[in-house]
Structure 1
């Protein structure tokens, strides 16, 4: 597994995340379509915040199942947190916040979040 560093634009939210980036997910729900994030899903324990938890704001909408974590200072959505259908804690990391990766080399899966 590789460890990646990531952050919001201003650095108030910084993290390390372990895993292998094999794909990204582009969703067209009302939230994802507006923020244009590209998501990579990992077990939540593989995402380690390097900054205080309180630095990240939380936004809930619709069914309040996903905690959308963003920086109140610069506005960047860094990651989301939720439980998968089996009850496992999962992080949805915004690949656009990861340093030094080639986004064009990552296969993108498209998800129809509007249909939910």
Structure 2
């Protein structure tokens, strides 16, 4: 089942290819500021429409990922690998979708700030 979402102003549209099995709530320095939770898909399987070219990237740390946000409304939409290799992991912010989707997904807590382990089990 596909799911359609968008940034707050609607300039960026997102389409998930399927319902995620889980979402991840991370407490790393970036995720705790941007929110989430994140759902992960194979890079290239999530459709991202940006017809007005409003998406902007933020890159930090080991410079392997870019976190994307709408330059109009500042909604963080997703993160993607900088090298753009198909099949790599791709994170999508579930907060940009119908709240019913988020309510239907188990959200796991991940300690990205310290131990790099799940802290909900």
The residue that corresponds to 1:3 in the other structure is: 2
Q: Which moved more, 1:97-106 or 1:31-40?
A: 97-106
Structure 1 segments of 4+ aligned residues over 4 angstroms from their partners: none
Displacement of 1:103: 2.1
The SS at the match of 1:52 is coil
Aligned partner of residue 109 in structure 1, secondary structure: strand
RMSD (Å), alpha carbons: 2.0
Aligned residue number for residue 46 of structure 1 = 45
- TM-score, normalised on structure 2? 0.82
CA distance in 2: counterparts of 1:43 and 1:102, whole angstroms = 19
Q: Is the 8 A contact 2:3 2:19 kept in 1?
A: no
TM-score normalized by the length of structure 1: 0.85
| Preserved contact between residue 19 and residue 42 of structure 1 (Cα < 8 Å) | no
Task: Please name the residue that 1:104 is paired with.
Answer: 103
Give the 3-state SS of the residue equivalent to 1:114 in structure 2: coil
Higher helix share: 1
Task: State the match for 2:54 in structure 1.
Answer: 55
Pairing 1:88–2:87 present? yes
- In 1: Cα distance, 2:99 partner to 2:80 partner: 23
Report Cα offsets for 1:28-70 as digits up to 9, x if no partner: 0111101221000001221112223832100011111211010
Residues 44 and 87 in structure 2, CA contact (< 8 A), matched pair in contact too: no
Structure 1's 22 and 53: CA in aligned 2 closer, same or farther, altered over 3 A? Answer: farther
1:100 positional shift: 5.4
Q: Please list every run of 5 or more consecutive structure 2 residues that lacks an aligned counterpart in the other structure.
A: 117-121
| Number of positions where the alignment pairs a residue of Structure 1 with one of Structure 2 | 112
